[in-house]
Structure 1
Amino acid sequence: MREALALGETKLPETWQEPIPLSSRPPLPPFPLHALPGWLADFTVALAEETQTPVDMAGSLALSVLATAAGGRSIVQVRGRWREPTNLFLVVALPPANRKSAVFSAMTGPLYQAEKKLMDEAAGRIVEAELTAKMAQEAADKATAKATNAEGPQKDELVAEAIGLAQTAQSLTVPCCPRLLADDATPEVISSLLAEQGGRLSVMSAEGGIFDIIAGRYSGSPNMEVFLKGHAGDRLRVDRRNREEFIEAPALTMGLAVQPSVLEDIGKNRGFDGRGLLARFLYALPASLVGYRKINPDPVPDDVGTRYERNVITLTLSLADWTDPVVLRLTEAASTALIAYEKRLEPQLRVRGGKFGHIDKWAGKLVGAAARIAGLLHLAAHLEDGDGHPIAEATMAAAIEVAEYFATHALTVFDLMGADATQARARSLLEVLAANGWETVSRRDLFAKLSRSEFPTVADMEPAVALLEDHGYLRSHTPPRNGKRGRPLAPRYLIHPQVREGRV
């Protein structure tokens, strides 16, 4: 009774749902298709139907496609000096036999078409530049040979001419063949491609081999610098034996579809988490449809497929020639919406009691991710003149909804990546709750009952508490102020009756 009175006027919940066993995961929300522009949502739904795959896979990859088209060519002006590039790191995790390759091929097909168009358009310029450079070098070589063999007063004049021709030949550059996409390339190759392509590149793969490569499959040691800086847009300088590569604002996009076991494996690599690589990805963990798929489903309608291909190619080509990125600004209402989201999110990052406290490195980037997504949705809605319109409030609201989808999935994914430790601690915590029979308990009193070898600090307790809350074994509650001055009352946990009665 004393604990109940400590809650003030707030009543304990009269009804509880059946808790979800710790061996099971709570259901996750589906991808919010209504947040996408019509032409993109239509193709995503139709492709998911044709392939009998979760809409989450095509929906998430749709954002990767937009980021491939716009990354390095557009930035979102958030406020002040805060700017967000529009490249994204995305990973969808699904078990085998979920037709990841089929969805990947359909989603990325227009990007390869756009890449081929860019290659065809550049072919003539490349040939002309190669021929000009070759002729200039030959002229410089002849002048050098002539100056070398010269004697008398003409030698100085011929040397000066040879030097001038050599400088001209050296100043001529042959443009690289345009590239939009790479697969499981090494970090060194990706760095070179980024430098050649003016700082923009996309790694798209239906496999998880890129994580093994980052971890050092070929080099023997992890190499993630290009991925860290390629996501953030930080200057990248790479010294090679024969040349130096400098990228002012790299924009690397990653769109991956992997098996859940890949996430478990990378979660065990402390280097990935310690350097912050895992915090840069948006995660989707849809439910598999294997065993429940429709036989002989409807194919993607021709007009829907054609419109998708045309619009992706149009967006890609319209931004391809921009050397200075398009600056996308927010309307006042959109800015207000983003600030309101930031205010809601910030308390959830607290290590003590925050929903995202145990994944604060990831969640701390969520507002920026929402701004990036807003920029991509805006460009998808304004295919040829996105720079002529500010990002609207409705677009920002849609982007925030997509960001919240990824946030919900990230909680489960990070649990999966650290499942052994978190679940073991959650079970220990559940045993303590059952043994004490609390109806409600403060965080301090709960921590006092735990083993210090397993829970050295309160922060070590929070992920286990969050997991138990996600599974319905307890609820966090902050008692309201009673009108008196002083510190606010500390958060408490309301315990499921089945736990108190030892029926778990």
Structure 2
Amino acid sequence: MSVPDTDLWAGFDAEAAEELTGPVWDEPVPLKARRDLPAFPVEALPDWLSHMVAAVAEETQTPADLAGCIALAVIATAAGGRATVCVRGRWREPVNIYTAVALDPGNRKSAVFALMTEPLMAVEKSLVELSGPARAEAETTAKLAKAAADKAAAKAANAEPDKRAELTAEAVALAQQAEEIKVPGKPQLVADDVTPENLATLLTEQDGRISVLSPEGGIFDIIAGRYSGAPNMEIFLKGHAGDMVRVNRQGRDAQHIERPAVTMGLAVQPEVLESIGTIKGADGRGLLARFLYAQPESLVGHRNLTPDLIPDDVAQTYALRLGGLAMAMADWTDPAVLTLTPEADAVMLAYQKVTEARIGKGGSLASIVKWASKRDGAVARIAGLLHLATHPDDGWARPIEAGTLAAATDLGNYFTAHAQYVFDAMGADPAQEAAHTVLTHLRETRLSGFTKRELFRGLSRADFPAMADLDPALALLEEHGWVRQQPQASRTGRGRPPSPRYDTHPTLTRAA
């Protein structure tokens, strides 16, 4: 082997070499990795429900997660206040749930909601019509009883002293009878923009159950105190858990709900999910832990413009099965108790062991321990919903089978992964997401250099409305060694200063 001639390198140093070859780049520091989120397990749903979810997702060109989460909330609306799952011993879970799907505007959330909830609206209309005669009879009876009581009271007031006691007793009895006549409220399954006070009233009128289904996230603003000026989440906490609610307000009758069952199915913008973590008390009191979250990837920009339409038989079967379940359970007073087969109980116990092993210190779910502590209960609720959807005619007379419980655990794993992502986003530095977006753009375009203005023109205004919004992302990328700002040239003359120029790390310009 020949010995290199060291004279050839005489006079060269690192700075001189850098002038000839360009600045030396160190290995960049990776940004915090994004989680790979699973797709909604449509196959975990009963056939009639999975077919509708898949067909709606195809026709609207939206992620199946949206229709899938609404489907669960819709089944809970039909049955939420009328069934509980007896998991083991005295551990029971009502089958009402809270779901929240995060998607940017333009993802046809309203269209999906309309398709998935239409049968519920038809059931609500039928219930109103069917209850009309009974409500009219009760209203008339109440008016007549009140008039009779008032007449008796007036007669007693004007009676002779020797007859006043007898007539007073008669008036009191009539007043008590009139007071005991209850006029049933007009049936309502779904509410939208409702205050906590109105929600308590609706629960009282609707025998303890109501659903909030909305393609918007306005309910979070209400919880945060849009009208009251202070967070008001008590009814939403108890409405999920089924804890007794007593509401006493000046000038109103006391409201008492024995077993409230509130269901929520919401579609919100991603920023809304990130902001609800700032609601005072939302985390500490467990509101955030009650939601099943989903944040699917949008299809906007690569949608099929001529999709397959929803087959008529799929839509008709969906309407018949969902409507039948809602009508069948509408008149239940005491909730149906759904039990587990021994095999299903074994599946549930195995899932509990996994959860318990992961929520301890150092476990993979330790960072979301409040949410994960409710994971097993959520799986039991989902199992109850899948069971009722599988047997909409007589599910209350059958035990939940192992296959249904296993399908519920698939959904539980899906919601777990999305909850981890959402809670990461709630506590994350906003610059992280912006830096990921810029880094992806640089990888795709393989730019060796760019000006800030050029970069801004190449990015979406939805992500970066103003050029100044790039600053945190560029600063983070420069800190991690992915880009490097060139020295600013001395400015001469008037006019706008030149846009800052950046070099990119050589690994970004290499072909994949």
Give the one of 288, 302, 311 matched to 1:301: 311
Give the one of 408, 415, 422 matched to 2:417: 408
Checking the alignment, whether the CA contact within 8 Å between 1:20 and 1:26 is kept in structure 2 is no
Q: Secondary structure at the match of 1:178?
A: coil
Distance 2:431 2:377 in 1: 28
Deviation at 1:272, TM superposition (A): 1.1
Give the one of 49, 53, 57 matched to 2:58: 49
Report the identity percentage.
Answer: 58
Amino acid aligned to 2:126: K
Q: 2:201: which partner in 1?
A: 192
Distance change >3 Å, CA 393–CA 150, structure 1 → 2 = same
Deviation at 1:192, TM superposition (A): 1.0
Amino acid aligned to 2:346: T
Amino acid aligned to 2:241: A
Q: 2:287: which partner in 1?
A: 277
Checking the alignment, whether the CA contact within 8 Å between 1:74 and 1:325 is kept in structure 2 is yes
Task: Give me the TM-score of the superposition, normalised by structure 1.
Answer: 0.78
Distance change >3 Å, CA 192–CA 20, structure 1 → 2 = farther
Distance 2:226 2:35 in 1: 35
Q: Secondary structure at the match of 1:104?
A: helix
Distance change >3 Å, CA 22–CA 105, structure 1 → 2 = farther
Q: 2:119: which partner in 1?
A: 110
Q: 2:337: which partner in 1?
A: 327
Q: Secondary structure at the match of 1:416?
A: helix
Amino acid aligned to 1:418: G
Distance 1:217 1:364 in 2: 30
Q: 1:87: which partner in 2?
A: 96
Structure 1: 5+ residue stretches without partners: 1-18, 428-504
Distance 2:152 2:412 in 1: 63
Distance 1:67 1:140 in 2: 43
Deviation at 1:39, TM superposition (A): 0.3
Deviation at 1:153, TM superposition (A): 3.1
Distance 2:424 2:287 in 1: 17
Distance 2:33 2:316 in 1: 41
Alignment of 1:131 with 2:136, yes or no, is no
Q: 1:494: which partner in 2?
A: none
Deviation at 1:198, TM superposition (A): 1.2
Distance 1:179 1:283 in 2: 26
Q: Secondary structure at the match of 1:288?
A: coil
Question: What is the root-mean-square deviation in Å for CA atoms of aligned residues?
Answer: 1.9
Q: Secondary structure at the match of 1:95?
A: coil
Deviation at 1:20, TM superposition (A): 11
Alignment of 1:267 with 2:280, yes or no, is no
Q: 2:349: which partner in 1?
A: 339
Q: 1:362: which partner in 2?
A: 371
Checking the alignment, whether the CA contact within 8 Å between 1:75 and 1:327 is kept in structure 2 is yes
Alignment of 1:161-176 (within 5 A): 161-176=170-185
Deviations 1:116-155 (A, max 9, x none): 1111111111110000111111111111222222215333
Amino acid aligned to 2:290: R
Distance 2:164 2:369 in 1: 70
Checking the alignment, whether the CA contact within 8 Å between 1:32 and 1:402 is kept in structure 2 is yes
Amino acid aligned to 2:116: M
Give the one of 245, 249, 254 matched to 1:244: 254
Amino acid aligned to 2:176: Q
Distance change >3 Å, CA 357–CA 152, structure 1 → 2 = closer
Q: 2:509: which partner in 1?
A: none
Distance 1:184 1:171 in 2: 32
Give the one of 209, 213, 224 matched to 2:222: 213
Deviation at 1:335, TM superposition (A): 0.3
Deviations 1:252-275 (A, max 9, x none): 100000010101111233421121
Q: Secondary structure at the match of 1:290?
A: coil
Q: 2:440: which partner in 1?
A: none
Distance 2:190 2:230 in 1: 25
Distance 1:43 1:320 in 2: 23
Deviation at 1:209, TM superposition (A): 0.8
Alignment of 1:40 with 2:42, yes or no, is no
Amino acid aligned to 1:157: E
Distance 1:21 1:52 in 2: 34
Distance 2:151 2:38 in 1: 70
Structure 2: 5+ residue stretches without partners: 1-27, 437-512
Give the one of 327, 332, 343 matched to 1:317: 327
Q: Secondary structure at the match of 1:26?
A: coil
Deviation at 1:293, TM superposition (A): 0.3
Amino acid aligned to 2:254: E
Q: Secondary structure at the match of 2:194?
A: coil
Distance 1:162 1:152 in 2: 15
Give the one of 155, 161, 165 matched to 1:156: 165
Q: Secondary structure at the match of 2:429?
A: helix
Checking the alignment, whether the CA contact within 8 Å between 1:415 and 1:422 is kept in structure 2 is no
Alignment of 1:419 with 2:428, yes or no, is yes
Distance 2:31 2:352 in 1: 31
Q: Secondary structure at the match of 1:202?
A: strand
